[in-house]
């Protein structure tokens, strides 16, 4: 079998060599041999001239044949992927383009020869996933209409980005088409295209075989490393893919923007939630092309000013065009990404001022030592010990804290190699990050044993293989859902040896809750939010939420909460909390109330909550007064804000439901400290809130309870706010003519 493969490969290679010697036209050679590219052809010309014409081909392949016979004698179950890697690693010649070309020829022949046998080995290609197929089908159906695609981290977003370019180009070959690929960080673009500052040939050969994109058909205009806008970098004969980070483009002058617009057909924005910045939005509006946005977390808040930006670029008529949506629930269900295994430990707050932005935070040594004992005795000894690779990312708040933790780990866990990476440092100083990133096991059984301590890194857009655990070293009361999703995404990727079973996340929480049921319920609700992202399909969202609610169970023996996403037990998400759960019925009740409210909110189409919230947030409410308030059928006039809240709570008449949705500080205990006041009729205490938070609380509670409401606010300066279900608006009274006073008759 091997001899046959090598003979066929020799025939092809000798034929190409003979064409070169005969000075055959390059275009004719490339058309004759589909998998040959111009770069490889040029290198072959050089080698043939230097290596005594075509004799080197035979010697070259004779050596490969010798090595392959030895390889197959040692391992009868070799895969095509292993074969490809083995040939590349032989290092017979220096240039990887030629060795890659030859390797692909051999692997293709190998695949064809054994295709009818039971032990068929498929060449290592990227297989289209359900989200990839849905995205490409919808793009063509919509005729490349501007829109966004919501894709969970680790589900193949990069392939879709490249495919949208190739798909559009293949359908529009008659024109000169340019494509702008934009991302907020240089790392995202560098990882997508380059390896050691050169185009990643191995990756793009696979992409070509997989029919995603043939990068040799395009000219790459690199503004990632080339910072000057040089028009000579643009090709007139090939479509251009212009890659640039966000900061580079926002300073582009009008002349260069006009040049860019000349042939620009599409702008693809990876991590498109960054349009919240005014400068980048203004730049994007100047581009006269199709806009396609990619993000795992696009709508991070619902302020109307941000929604309008999304509507303008990625939708129309105040509606967002979601081309496709594939959330974490879908990714785990389809076994594209790993389910979570999340450990929660009750850490002490060891920063006395607890200021995330302050690098001079005062350390509380007692609290710090308490946390270190948990890390040393439980996390490292019991949890990390079970990990297959032990390649860990630790997130820290500040540079000083990251250095402190790295120093402590170096002293206590000497078998681990540690690395430090701080956001904002220059690329040359990030070599430690890159070294950590590229650490791989030499075989499927080897441990890596490395820890990266980072600040503001390893969130969106960073792909690091073989990471099997993430640790938040600094505890917080409430971690941002977006931050949690971004960081967890680094761990969820399936490794090539498939030794990882879960994405292991370890987190410290600060127990400030007197209500333990609510604390545990909030953790479960946080997971529901993490698993389900935005979707235009309300029915799909509701069905998933109901499934999660019905399939969230407590194993009282192990104290684990398991959240099922499908019938496969191995796909369960697991929450392991370091407190004994004795109040499961109460926890389930709070979670059930949350789910019902979400379903109610999704099915209530008449409530313009975004507009109401925008009016409250954008206006100065100091010294404002409530002139009129109606919640359901209860009507009042000229009442204080605390009374408005009281009326709303009485109408709800369900303490668990109120606590599940509040944005205020509530406590079931009787309190008269720190601004709390106990209400006998409500049976709980409320901490005083300003006008803005009082209104936002009432709006939110009305939304989730499907209440009708009308509230009229008179502002200190001329104007009134009309907050309601149907037509929330502001009325400015400065320009309204006053009714003339009647003159007295003499």
Yes or no: say if 311 and 476 are a contact pair by the CB < 8 Å rule. Answer: no
pLDDT score recorded for residue 461: 58
- Helix ranges (H only) for 172-234 are 186-193, 201-209
Q: Which residues contact residue 114 at a Cβ distance below 8 angstroms, ignoring those fewer than 6 apart? A: 1, 120, 121
Q: Tell me how far apart the 2 most distant CA atoms of the chain are, in Å.
A: 124
Alpha helices (H) along 148-271? 157-171, 186-193, 201-209, 246-249, 254-263
* Range of lowest pLDDT (205-214, 452-461, 489-498, 510-519): 510-519
Q: What is the pLDDT of residue 740?
A: 46
pLDDT at 111: 64
Q: Is the per-residue pLDDT at 744 higher than 50?
A: no
Q: What is the pLDDT of residues 365-374, one digit of tens each?
A: 788 888 899 9
Better-scored residue on pLDDT, 25 or 567: 567
Do 144 and 266 form a contact (C-beta atoms < 8 A)? yes
Bridge-based pairing state of the strands 709-714 and 625-631: antiparallel
Q: Which residues share a beta bridge with 630?
A: 635, 710
**How much is the pLDDT for 479?**
67
Binned at pLDDT 50, 70 and 90, residue 123 comes out as: very low
Share of the chain above pLDDT 90, in %: 28
Helix then strand then coil, in percent of the chain rounded to 5, is 45, 20, 35
Give CA–CA dist 454/440, Å, rounded: 19
How many other CB atoms sit within 10 Å of the CB of residue 623? 10
CB 389 within 8 A of CB 495: yes
What pLDDT is recorded for position 478?
Answer: 65
pLDDT of residue 647: 92
DSSP single-letter state for residue 337 = B
Between 556 and 487, the more confident residue is 556
- State yes or no: pLDDT of 93 exceeds 80: no
The structure tokens listed for 593 are 């109330």
Residue 73 predicted with pLDDT over 70? no
Residue pLDDT, tens place only, 15-51: 888 788 777 887 777 777 767 777 778 777 777 766 5
Contact at 8 Å (CB) between 695 and 678?
no
Residue 116 in this model has a pLDDT that exceeds 80 = no
How many whole angstroms separate alpha carbon 230 and alpha carbon 228? 6
Q: For residue 119, what pLDDT is reported?
A: 37
- What is the band of 359 on the pLDDT scale with cuts at 50, 70, 90? very low
pLDDT for 361 equals 55
* Angle, in degrees to the nearest 10, between helices 80-88 and 55-74: 130
pLDDT of residue 74: 63
Instruction: Tell me what pLDDT residue 246 has.
Output: 81
Across 94-98, 187-191, 236-240, 251-255, the highest mean pLDDT is recorded for 236-240
pTM over 0.85: no
Q: Where in 234-318 does DSSP place strands (E)?
A: 240-245, 264-270, 290-295, 315-316
Average pLDDT, the chain: 81
Residue 428 has pLDDT above 70, yes or no: no
Q: When comparing pLDDT for 179 and 196, which is higher?
A: 179
> How large is the angle between the packed helices 38-50 and 96-113, nearest 10 degrees?
110
Residue 354's pLDDT band (boundaries 50, 70, 90)? very low
pLDDT recorded at residue 587: 87
pLDDT band at 480 (very low <50, low <70, confident <90, very high): low
Q: How far, in Å, CA of 518 to CA of 287, rounded?
A: 48
| pLDDT band (50, 70, 90) for residue 711 | very high
- Residue-range domains of the chain with CATH: 2-113 (no CATH), 130-326 (3.40.50.300), 337-512 (3.40.50.300), 514-554+581-603 (no CATH), 609-731 (no CATH)
Task: Classify residue 30 by burial, with Cβ atoms within 10 Å: 0-12, 13-18, 19+.
Answer: middle
pLDDT of 487 strictly over 80: no
* CB neighbour class for 77 (10 Å; exposed up to 12, middle 13-18, buried from 19): exposed
Q: Which of 163-167, 243-247, 549-553 has the lowest mean pLDDT?
A: 243-247
Residue 506 is given by DSSP the state E
User: What mean pLDDT do residues 625-635 have?
Assistant: 92
Per-residue pLDDT, averaged over 339-363, amounts to 69
- Percentage of the chain exceeding pLDDT 70: 82
């Amino acid at each position: 079998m091997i001899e046959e493969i090598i003979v066929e490969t020799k025939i092809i290679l000798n034929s190409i060599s003979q064409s070169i010697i005969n000075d055959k036209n390059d275009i004719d050679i490339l058309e004759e041999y589909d998998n040959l590219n111009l770069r490889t052809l040029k290198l072959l010309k050089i080698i043939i001239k230097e290596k005594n014409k075509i004799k080197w081909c035979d010697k070259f392949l004779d050596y490969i044949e010798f090595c392959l016979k030895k390889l197959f004698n040692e391992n009868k179950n070799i895969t095509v992927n292993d074969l490809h890697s083995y040939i590349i690693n032989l290092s017979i010649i220096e240039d990887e383009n030629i060795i890659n070309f030859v390797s692909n020829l051999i692997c293709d022949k190998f695949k064809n020869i054994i295709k009818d046998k039971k032990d068929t080995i498929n060449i290592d290609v990227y297989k289209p996933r359900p989200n990839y197929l849905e995205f490409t089908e919808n793009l063509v159906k919509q005729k490349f209409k501007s829109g966004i695609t919501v894709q969970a981290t680790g589900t193949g977003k990069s392939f879709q980005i490249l495919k949208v370019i190739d798909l559009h180009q293949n359908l529009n070959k008659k024109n000169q088409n340019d494509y702008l690929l934009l991302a907020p960080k240089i790392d995202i673009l560098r990882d997508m295209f380059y390896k050691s500052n050169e185009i990643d040939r191995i990756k793009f050969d696979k992409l070509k075989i997989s029919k995603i994109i043939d990068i040799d058909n395009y000219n790459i205009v690199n503004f990632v490393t080339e910072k000057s806008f040089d028009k000579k970098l643009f090709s007139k004969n090939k479509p251009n893919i212009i890659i640039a980070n966000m900061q580079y483009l926002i300073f582009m002058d009008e002349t260069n923007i006009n040049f860019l617009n000349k042939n620009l057909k599409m702008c693809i924005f990876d991590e498109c939630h960054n349009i919240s910045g005014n400068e980048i939005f203004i730049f994007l509006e100047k581009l006269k092309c199709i806009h396609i946005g990619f993000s795992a977390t696009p709508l991070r808040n619902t302020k109307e000013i941000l929604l309008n930006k999304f509507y303008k670029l990625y939708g129309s008529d105040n509606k967002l065009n979601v081309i496709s949506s594939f959330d974490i629930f879908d990714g785990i269900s389809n076994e594209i990404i790993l389910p979570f295994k999340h450990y929660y430990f009750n850490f002490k707050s060891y920063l006395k001022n607890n200021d995330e932005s302050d690098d001079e935070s005062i350390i509380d040594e007692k609290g710090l030592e308490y946390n270190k004992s948990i890390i040393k005795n439980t996390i490292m000894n019991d949890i990390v010990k079970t990990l297959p690779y032990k390649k860990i990312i630790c997130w820290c708040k500040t540079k000083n804290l990251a250095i402190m933790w790295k120093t402590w780990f170096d002293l206590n866990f000497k078998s681990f190699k540690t690395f430090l990476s701080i956001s904002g440092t220059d690329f040359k100083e990030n070599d430690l990050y890159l070294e950590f990133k590229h650490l791989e096991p030499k075989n499927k059984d080897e441990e890596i044993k490395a820890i990266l301590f980072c600040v503001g890194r390893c969130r969106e857009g960073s792909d690091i293989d073989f990471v099997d655990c993430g640790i938040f070293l600094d505890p917080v009361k409430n971690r941002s859902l977006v931050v949690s999703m971004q960081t967890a995404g680094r761990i969820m990727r399936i490794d090539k040896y498939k030794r990882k079973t879960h994405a292991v996340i370890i987190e410290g929480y600060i127990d400030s809750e007197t209500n333990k049921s609510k604390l545990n319920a909030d953790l479960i609700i946080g997971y529901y939010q993490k698993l389900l992202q935005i979707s235009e399909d309300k029915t799909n969202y509701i069905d998933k939420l109901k499934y999660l609610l019905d399939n969230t169970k407590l194993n009282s023996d192990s104290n684990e909460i398991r959240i099922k996403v499908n019938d496969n037990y191995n796909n369960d998400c697991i929450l392991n909390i370091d407190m004994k759960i004795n109040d499961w019925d109460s926890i389930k009740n709070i979670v059930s109330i949350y789910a019902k409210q979400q379903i109610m909110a999704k099915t209530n189409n008449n409530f313009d909550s975004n507009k109401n919230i925008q009016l409250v947030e954008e206006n100065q409410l100091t010294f404002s007064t409530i002139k009129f308030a109606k919640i359901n059928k209860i009507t009042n006039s000229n009442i204080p804000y605390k009374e408005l809240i009281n009326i709303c709570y009485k109408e709800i008449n369900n303490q668990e439901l109120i606590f599940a949705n509040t944005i205020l500080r509530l406590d079931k205990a009787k309190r008269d400290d720190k601004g709390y006041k106990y209400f006998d009729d409500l049976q709980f205490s409320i901490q005083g809130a300003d006008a803005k938070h009082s209104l936002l609380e009432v709006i939110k509670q009305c939304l989730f309870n499907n209440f009708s409401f009308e509230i009229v606010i008179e502002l200190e300066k001329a104007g009134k706010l009309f907050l309601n279900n149907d037509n929330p608006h502001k009325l400015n009274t400065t320009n309204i003519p006053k009714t003339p006073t009647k003159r007295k008759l003499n």
